[in-house]
Amino acid sequence: MRKADTLTPAYFERLYSDASDPWNFATSPYEQSKYDATLAALGDQPIERALEVGCSIGVLTRMLAARCGRLTATEVSKIAIEQARKRCVDQPNVAFQLVNSIGDPVLGPFDLIVLSEVVYYWDDAELVRAGHMIRSQARIGGYILLVHWLGETDYPKSGDDAVEGLHRLIGDQVVVEKADRTADYRLDLWRWDAPNLA
């Protein structure tokens, strides 16, 4: 079966119009366990500025906000980002930004860039844009945290292909701090080891 091209904002808008939480982020024990592992991977180092790409309805966003001085959360779906804003209404350190693609400008640089369950939505061209974004927005010594499901999808990439494809593009500029796998997902933590190009 041919894999799809990068999934468009309209694809996600349809999903969220059909179900307010299409992946059960707010209620799934699996998701909660994965969020716990995601936060644990960050250790206890201070995070002044963070970027969460593809914040969905803001479940992980709210958890990240407690760890960050400032958090920028982006999303392509208007419906989802409105839910995220409501979920984080009492978190003044969170700024939300509606985007069309990973190539849209964000105001960095960032000590942490979170790519949780998003990279496999992108085709090769969008993956290159993601590499450019990281190069321009990652602060030296900062971290890129990736978490991706390993099951079969009809997305442009599998979880492994997504993470390995991005690593091929920027791997010479990162140090792999963590590469964990469970039966269901992989969690990768990279430290950015090059000056950003902004």
Looking at residue 3, its pLDDT comes to 55
Q: Is the pTM of this model over 0.85?
A: yes
Specify the DSSP class assigned to residue 185. E
- Tokens 């003044």 locate to 92
**145: pLDDT strictly greater than 90:** yes
Could you give the number of structural domains in the chain? 1
Mean pLDDT of the chain: 92
The pLDDT of residue 152: 86
Host domain of residue 33: 9-192
* Predicted local confidence at residue 93, as pLDDT: 98
The share of the chain scoring above pLDDT 90, in percent, equals: 78
Q: Is the pLDDT score of 158 beyond 80?
A: yes
Say if residue 197's pLDDT is above 70.
no
Going by C-alpha positions, the residue among 31, 53, 71 that lies closest to residue 144 is 53
Q: Is residue 29 part of a domain?
A: yes
pLDDT confidence of residue 62:
97
Q: What's the confidence (pLDDT) of residue 196?
A: 60
- Let me know if residue 114 belongs to a domain: yes
CA distance 90 to 62: 10
Residue 198 lies in a domain: no
* Percentage with pLDDT > 70 across the chain: 96
**2 in a structural domain:** no
Strand order of the β-sheet with 47-53 is 94-98, 68-75, 47-53, 110-116, 138-149, 185-192, 174-181
CB distance 74 to 51 below 8 Å: yes
What pLDDT is attached to residue 15?
87
Does 198 score more than 90 pLDDT? no
Contact 103, 133 (CB under 8 A): yes
pLDDT the model gives residue 6: 80
What CATH number does the domain containing 187 carry?
3.40.50.150
pLDDT tens profile 2-49: 456 788 888 899 989 888 888 889 999 999 999 999 999 999 988 999
* pLDDT-based confidence at residue 1 (cuts at 50, 70, 90): very low
Q: Could you report the per-residue pLDDT of 60-108, keeping only the tens digit for each?
A: 999 999 999 999 999 999 999 999 999 999 999 999 999 998 989 998 8
Phi then psi for residue 112, to 5 deg, are -145, 130
Domain presence at residue 4 = no
pLDDT at residue number 5: 75
101-116 core/surface letters (b: 16 or more CB in 10 A; e: else) = bbeeebebbbbbbbbb
Q: Is 73 part of any domain?
A: yes
Tell the residue number behind the tokens 């963070």, with chain if given: 50
Average pLDDT of 171-193? 95
- 29: tokens are 């024990």
